[in-house]
Structure 1
Amino acid sequence: MDDDPLTAALRSAGCVFAEEEAALLRAECRDPADLDARLARRVAGEPLEVVLGWAGFDGLRVPVAPGVFVPRRRSLLLVEVAATLARPGDVVLDLCCGTGALAAAVSGRRPDVEVWAADLDAAAVACARRHLPPERVLHGDLFAPLPPDLRSRVGVLICNAPYVPTAAIGAMPPEARDHEARHALDGGADGHEVHRRVLAEAGGWLRSDGVLLFECADTQAATLLALVDEAGLVPGRHEADSEADSEADGTVVVSGGQPA
Structure 2
Amino acid sequence: MTSAGSEALATRLRAAGCVFAEDEAGLLVDSGATGDALEALVRRRVAGEPLETVLGWVEFAGMRLTVRPGVFVPRRRTELLARVAASRCAPGSVFLELCCGVAPVGALVHAGEVHLADLDPAALACARVNAPDAHVHLSDLYAALPADLRGRVDVVAANAPYVPSDAIALMPPEARDHERRMALDGGPDGVDLHRRIAAGARDWLAPAGVLVIETSPHQAPLTVAAMSDAGLATEVVVDDSVAGCVVVGLG
Same fold (TM over 0.5): yes
What stretches of structure 2 of length at least 5 have no aligned partner? none
Cα distance in 2 between the residues matched to 1:46 and 1:141: 27
| Deviation string, structure 1 residues 191-243 (Cα, Å, up to 9, x no partner) | 1111111112111110010000000011011121112111113x5xxxx1101
Tell me what 1:150 maps to.
149
Tell me what 1:68 maps to.
71
Corresponding residue SS for 2:245: strand
Cα distance in 2 between the residues matched to 1:158 and 1:99: 14
Tell me what 2:238 maps to.
244
Corresponding residue SS for 2:107: helix
Cα distance in 1 between the residues matched to 2:30 and 2:222: 45
Counterpart check, 1:255 vs 2:249: yes
Tell me what 1:139 maps to.
138
Question: 1:130, CA displacement in angstroms?
Answer: 1.7
Cα distance in 1 between the residues matched to 2:204 and 2:117: 14
Question: 1:87, CA displacement in angstroms?
Answer: 2.2
RMSD: 1.4
Q: Which moved more, 1:18-27 or 1:41-50?
A: 18-27
Contact 2:85 2:105 in 1 (8 A): no
Aligned residue identity for 2:144: P
Tell me what 2:9 maps to.
6
Corresponding residue SS for 2:219: helix
Aligned residue identity for 2:244: G
| Deviation string, structure 1 residues 106-139 (Cα, Å, up to 9, x no partner) | 2xxx3x4421111001110111112223661111
Equivalences for residues 175-214 of structure 1 within 5 A: 175-214=174-213
* Displaced runs of 4 or more, over 4 A: none
Relative to the length of structure 2, the TM-score reads: 0.94
Equivalences for residues 1-260 of structure 1 within 5 A: 3=4, 4-106=7-109, 110=110, 112-133=111-132, 136-233=135-232, 235=233, 240-257=234-251
Cα distance in 2 between the residues matched to 1:30 and 1:44: 18
Contact 2:164 2:190 in 1 (8 A): yes
Cα distance in 1 between the residues matched to 2:55 and 2:248: 34
Relative to the length of structure 1, the TM-score reads: 0.91
Q: Which moved more, 1:113-122 or 1:179-188?
A: 113-122
Question: 1:59, CA displacement in angstroms?
Answer: 1.4
Corresponding residue SS for 2:105: helix
